[in-house]
Amino acid sequence: MIRKMGNITILVEDQDAAIKFYTEKLGFELTADNQFGDFRWVTVALSSQPDIGIVFVKADTENKRNRVGSQVADHVFITLETDDVDRDYKTMKEKGVVFYGEPKDMPYGREVVFEDLYGNRFDLITVRQMPSDWNKN
């Protein structure tokens, strides 16, 4: 039986640029940078959740290059929870992170969508209690 989720892969054009963006602008920590022959294993994670990392995989084929920044089309790829979306929005915006609007209130919390250096979309959210019928069919 599956017991937990592990790493998440993001295709990138440049692993060093991805490390810089995620660590300097989003506050992730570099957790691995290892070379195995021609393959470079690079991961970043949040200090509060070090067991789930984002793996930066170099887009080294035409198929992978075509998917950089659009692994889930124009939908949000990953949700990142914060205790203060407005504070983090301001800090990240000052660091040059591109946002789609400003934080807004939703039934489940306060959120704003931003993109990484390749256009992958993330939801930055302060979660409130979910509506009681949220997970019902």
* Tokens representing residue 35 in the block: 């070379």
Three-state SS for the chain is: CCCCCCCEEEEECCHHHHHHHHHHCCCCEEEEEEEECCEEEEEEEECCEEEEEEEEEECCCHHHHHHCCCEEEECEEEEEECCCHHHHHHHHHHCCCEEEEEEEEECCEEEEEEECCCCCEEEEEEECCCCCCCCCC
Residue 64 has pLDDT above 90, yes or no: yes
pLDDT (tens digit per residue) in 7-59:
999 999 999 999 999 999 999 999 999 999 999 999 999 999 999 999 999 99
pLDDT (tens digit per residue) in 90-122:
999 999 999 999 999 999 999 999 999 999 999
pLDDT bucket at 132, cuts 50 / 70 / 90: low
Give the residue range(s) of CATH 3.10.180.10 domains in the chain. 1-68, 70-137
pLDDT the model gives residue 119: 95
Q: What's the mean per-residue pLDDT of the chain? A: 93
Q: What pairs with residue 42 in β-bridges?
A: 33, 56
pLDDT the model gives residue 2: 85
pLDDT the model gives residue 137: 56
| CA pair distance 61, 42, nearest whole angstrom | 18
CATH homologous superfamily of 70-137 equals 2,3-Dihydroxybiphenyl 1,2-Dioxygenase, domain 1 (3.10.180.10)
Residue 79 has pLDDT above 90, yes or no: yes
Task: Select from 3.10.180.10, 3.30.2130.10, 1.10.1200.10, 3.40.50.300 the CATH code of 1-68.
Answer: 3.10.180.10
pLDDT bucket at 75, cuts 50 / 70 / 90: very high
